[in-house]
Amino acid sequence: ARGTALAASYSYPLSKRTNLYTSYARLRNNASGRFGLSSSSTAIAPPTTAPGSDPSVFALGMRHVF
């Protein structure tokens, strides 16, 4: 099994304590690959059940530090 991952992210500061962020990730599995996408210990796109599936994830958000 083999998989190839691509990820990109961007953060835009609105102020000293607030920012907007976006990220995108894509994983290409070969015909027998069953890999998924995860962040730290959280599964964003769990391992697929069908071999060869190609999961992708898009995130957009705002962060404010109090």
pTM for the model = 0.75
Q: What DSSP letter does each residue of 22-42 carry, written as one string?
A: EEEEEEEE-TT----EEETTE
b/e map 20-53, b = 16+ CB within 10 Å: eeeeebbbbbeeebebbbeeeeeeebeebeeeeb
Determine the pLDDT at residue 34.
Answer: 84
- Going residue by residue through the chain, which has 66 residues, state the pLDDT in tens, using 9 for 90 and above: 888 999 999 999 999 999 999 999 999 999 888 888 876 666 666 666 678 888 888 999 999 999
The per-residue pLDDT for 57 is: 87
Tokens of 44: 């964003």
| The pLDDT value given to residue 41 | 61
